[in-house]
Amino acid sequence: MSTLAALLLAGAAFGWAVHARWLHRRLTTARHDPLTGLWTRDAFTRRARRLLRDPRAVVVLADVDHFKQINDTHGHAAGDVLLATVAARLAHSTGPGGVVGRLGGDEFAAVLIDRDGTAADQLHTLARILARPVDNAPDVHTTVSLGWVRAVDHRGEDLSALLRRADEAMYAAKRSSRGGPRRARLGKILGSVAGRRPGRRGAA
Protein backbone atom coordinates (compact mmCIF):
# COMPACT_ATOMS: atom_id res chain seq x y z
CA MET A 1 0.00 0.00 0.00
CA SER A 2 1.37 3.42 -0.90
CA THR A 3 2.00 6.10 1.66
CA LEU A 4 -0.77 8.24 0.16
CA ALA A 5 -3.31 5.42 0.36
CA ALA A 6 -2.34 4.72 3.95
CA LEU A 7 -2.79 8.38 4.85
CA LEU A 8 -6.18 8.46 3.18
CA LEU A 9 -7.31 5.38 5.06
CA ALA A 10 -6.02 6.80 8.33
CA GLY A 11 -7.85 10.06 7.67
CA ALA A 12 -11.07 8.24 6.88
CA ALA A 13 -10.79 6.15 10.04
CA PHE A 14 -10.19 9.27 12.13
CA GLY A 15 -13.19 10.98 10.52
CA TRP A 16 -15.47 8.04 11.31
CA ALA A 17 -14.21 7.94 14.90
CA VAL A 18 -15.00 11.63 15.36
CA HIS A 19 -18.42 11.14 13.79
CA ALA A 20 -19.13 8.14 16.04
CA ARG A 21 -18.26 10.12 19.16
CA TRP A 22 -20.47 13.02 18.02
CA LEU A 23 -23.34 10.64 17.31
CA HIS A 24 -22.94 8.96 20.70
CA ARG A 25 -23.09 12.34 22.44
CA ARG A 26 -26.23 13.29 20.49
CA LEU A 27 -27.95 10.01 21.37
CA THR A 28 -26.98 10.30 25.03
CA THR A 29 -28.29 13.86 25.17
CA ALA A 30 -31.56 12.83 23.53
CA ARG A 31 -32.10 10.16 26.20
CA HIS A 32 -31.73 12.60 29.08
CA ASP A 33 -33.99 15.47 30.06
CA PRO A 34 -31.90 18.65 29.69
CA LEU A 35 -33.29 20.30 32.83
CA THR A 36 -33.14 17.46 35.35
CA GLY A 37 -30.68 15.02 33.80
CA LEU A 38 -33.17 12.18 34.27
CA TRP A 39 -34.09 9.71 31.56
CA THR A 40 -36.68 10.91 29.05
CA ARG A 41 -39.97 9.01 28.77
CA ASP A 42 -38.82 6.59 26.05
CA ALA A 43 -35.47 5.88 27.67
CA PHE A 44 -37.13 5.40 31.07
CA THR A 45 -39.70 3.02 29.57
CA ARG A 46 -37.05 0.74 28.09
CA ARG A 47 -35.16 0.45 31.36
CA ALA A 48 -38.27 0.19 33.51
CA ARG A 49 -39.58 -2.75 31.49
CA ARG A 50 -36.37 -4.64 32.17
CA LEU A 51 -36.63 -4.01 35.91
CA LEU A 52 -40.23 -5.26 35.94
CA ARG A 53 -38.92 -8.77 35.28
CA ASP A 54 -38.04 -8.76 38.98
CA PRO A 55 -41.17 -9.55 41.08
CA ARG A 56 -39.86 -7.20 43.78
CA ALA A 57 -40.21 -4.21 41.44
CA VAL A 58 -42.21 -1.21 42.66
CA VAL A 59 -43.58 1.42 40.26
CA VAL A 60 -43.79 4.97 41.61
CA LEU A 61 -45.33 8.15 40.22
CA ALA A 62 -44.51 11.56 41.66
CA ASP A 63 -46.16 14.91 40.93
CA VAL A 64 -45.24 18.31 42.34
CA ASP A 65 -48.18 19.90 44.14
CA HIS A 66 -49.22 23.47 43.30
CA PHE A 67 -46.54 23.71 40.63
CA LYS A 68 -48.41 26.28 38.52
CA GLN A 69 -48.81 28.46 41.60
CA ILE A 70 -45.06 28.27 42.23
CA ASN A 71 -44.33 29.35 38.66
CA ASP A 72 -46.83 32.20 38.91
CA THR A 73 -45.51 33.40 42.27
CA HIS A 74 -41.76 32.90 41.98
CA GLY A 75 -41.20 32.69 38.22
CA HIS A 76 -40.28 29.89 35.85
CA ALA A 77 -36.61 29.97 36.81
CA ALA A 78 -37.56 29.14 40.39
CA GLY A 79 -39.87 26.41 39.11
CA ASP A 80 -36.98 24.92 37.15
CA VAL A 81 -34.80 24.90 40.27
CA LEU A 82 -37.55 23.08 42.14
CA LEU A 83 -37.94 20.46 39.40
CA ALA A 84 -34.18 19.85 39.27
CA THR A 85 -34.10 19.48 43.07
CA VAL A 86 -37.02 17.03 43.09
CA ALA A 87 -35.32 15.01 40.34
CA ALA A 88 -32.04 14.81 42.25
CA ARG A 89 -33.79 13.70 45.45
CA LEU A 90 -35.81 11.08 43.60
CA ALA A 91 -32.72 9.69 41.89
CA HIS A 92 -30.81 9.54 45.17
CA SER A 93 -33.64 7.78 46.99
CA THR A 94 -34.25 5.27 44.21
CA GLY A 95 -30.64 4.15 44.30
CA PRO A 96 -28.33 2.74 41.64
CA GLY A 97 -30.47 -0.36 41.10
CA GLY A 98 -33.55 1.61 40.08
CA VAL A 99 -34.49 4.00 37.30
CA VAL A 100 -36.09 7.45 37.37
CA GLY A 101 -37.51 9.42 34.47
CA ARG A 102 -39.23 12.71 33.83
CA LEU A 103 -42.48 11.97 32.02
CA GLY A 104 -43.13 15.63 31.32
CA GLY A 105 -43.93 18.85 33.13
CA ASP A 106 -43.81 18.24 36.87
CA GLU A 107 -44.49 14.50 36.71
CA PHE A 108 -41.84 11.86 37.37
CA ALA A 109 -41.81 8.08 37.42
CA ALA A 110 -39.51 5.54 39.02
CA VAL A 111 -39.08 1.80 39.29
CA LEU A 112 -37.15 0.49 42.26
CA ILE A 113 -36.41 -2.99 43.58
CA ASP A 114 -37.80 -3.58 47.07
CA ARG A 115 -35.15 -6.02 48.25
CA ASP A 116 -36.06 -5.99 51.95
CA GLY A 117 -39.83 -5.33 51.87
CA THR A 118 -39.56 -1.77 53.19
CA ALA A 119 -40.87 0.13 50.16
CA ALA A 120 -43.73 1.74 52.12
CA ASP A 121 -41.36 3.11 54.76
CA GLN A 122 -38.88 4.25 52.12
CA LEU A 123 -41.55 6.16 50.23
CA HIS A 124 -42.84 7.89 53.36
CA THR A 125 -39.28 8.98 54.09
CA LEU A 126 -38.93 10.13 50.48
CA ALA A 127 -42.12 12.20 50.77
CA ARG A 128 -40.66 14.05 53.75
CA ILE A 129 -37.38 14.63 51.91
CA LEU A 130 -39.19 15.95 48.83
CA ALA A 131 -41.14 18.41 50.99
CA ARG A 132 -37.99 20.10 52.28
CA PRO A 133 -37.29 23.61 50.99
CA VAL A 134 -34.91 23.96 48.07
CA ASP A 135 -31.42 24.51 49.47
CA ASN A 136 -30.49 27.54 47.36
CA ALA A 137 -34.04 28.93 47.19
CA PRO A 138 -35.60 28.50 50.68
CA ASP A 139 -38.82 30.27 49.70
CA VAL A 140 -39.48 27.75 46.91
CA HIS A 141 -40.85 24.54 48.34
CA THR A 142 -43.94 22.37 48.17
CA THR A 143 -45.08 18.83 48.74
CA VAL A 144 -44.83 16.06 46.18
CA SER A 145 -47.62 13.51 45.87
CA LEU A 146 -46.53 9.89 45.46
CA GLY A 147 -48.50 6.88 44.24
CA TRP A 148 -47.02 3.41 44.06
CA VAL A 149 -47.81 -0.18 43.21
CA ARG A 150 -46.01 -3.49 43.61
CA ALA A 151 -45.64 -5.42 40.38
CA VAL A 152 -46.13 -8.71 42.25
CA ASP A 153 -49.65 -7.64 43.26
CA HIS A 154 -50.71 -7.38 39.61
CA ARG A 155 -48.95 -10.21 37.83
CA GLY A 156 -49.18 -10.09 34.06
CA GLU A 157 -49.78 -6.33 33.88
CA ASP A 158 -47.34 -4.33 31.80
CA LEU A 159 -45.67 -1.02 32.63
CA SER A 160 -48.53 1.05 31.20
CA ALA A 161 -51.11 -0.69 33.38
CA LEU A 162 -48.95 -0.36 36.49
CA LEU A 163 -48.38 3.32 35.79
CA ARG A 164 -52.14 3.82 35.52
CA ARG A 165 -52.61 2.22 38.93
CA ALA A 166 -49.84 4.33 40.43
CA ASP A 167 -51.38 7.40 38.81
CA GLU A 168 -54.75 6.76 40.46
CA ALA A 169 -53.04 6.22 43.80
CA MET A 170 -51.05 9.43 43.39
CA TYR A 171 -54.15 11.53 42.75
CA ALA A 172 -55.91 9.87 45.66
CA ALA A 173 -52.96 11.05 47.76
CA LYS A 174 -53.43 14.58 46.40
CA ARG A 175 -57.08 14.55 47.45
CA SER A 176 -56.41 13.03 50.86
CA SER A 177 -56.27 15.30 53.88
CA ARG A 178 -53.73 12.93 55.44
CA GLY A 179 -51.32 13.24 52.54
CA GLY A 180 -48.38 10.87 52.23
CA PRO A 181 -47.70 8.24 49.58
CA ARG A 182 -50.68 6.17 48.52
CA ARG A 183 -50.43 2.55 47.48
CA ALA A 184 -52.56 1.42 44.56
CA ARG A 185 -55.47 -0.76 45.62
CA LEU A 186 -55.39 -4.48 44.99
CA GLY A 187 -57.98 -6.27 42.90
CA LYS A 188 -59.72 -5.00 39.81
CA ILE A 189 -58.01 -2.68 37.37
CA LEU A 190 -58.76 0.92 38.23
CA GLY A 191 -60.72 3.02 35.80
CA SER A 192 -59.05 4.95 33.02
CA VAL A 193 -57.85 8.44 33.82
CA ALA A 194 -58.51 9.54 30.26
CA GLY A 195 -60.47 12.75 30.16
CA ARG A 196 -59.34 13.78 33.65
CA ARG A 197 -55.84 14.96 32.86
CA PRO A 198 -56.59 18.37 31.29
CA GLY A 199 -56.47 21.13 33.83
CA ARG A 200 -55.27 19.07 36.75
CA ARG A 201 -51.74 20.51 36.81
CA GLY A 202 -51.21 22.55 39.90
CA ALA A 203 -54.50 21.44 41.40
CA ALA A 204 -54.69 19.99 44.91
Task: Report, as residue numbers or ranges, the catalytic residues.
Answer: 106
Alpha helix ranges (H) inside 2-116: 3-31, 41-51, 67-74, 76-94
DSSP symbol at 201: T
Give dist(CA 119, CA 95) in Å, integer. 12
Answer yes or no: are the C-beta atoms of 135 and 85 closer than 8 Å: yes
- Element housing 174 (H / E): helix 159-175
DSSP symbol at 39: B
Q: How far is CA 66 from CA 93, 99, 171, in A?
A: 22, 25, 13
3-class secondary structure, 103: strand
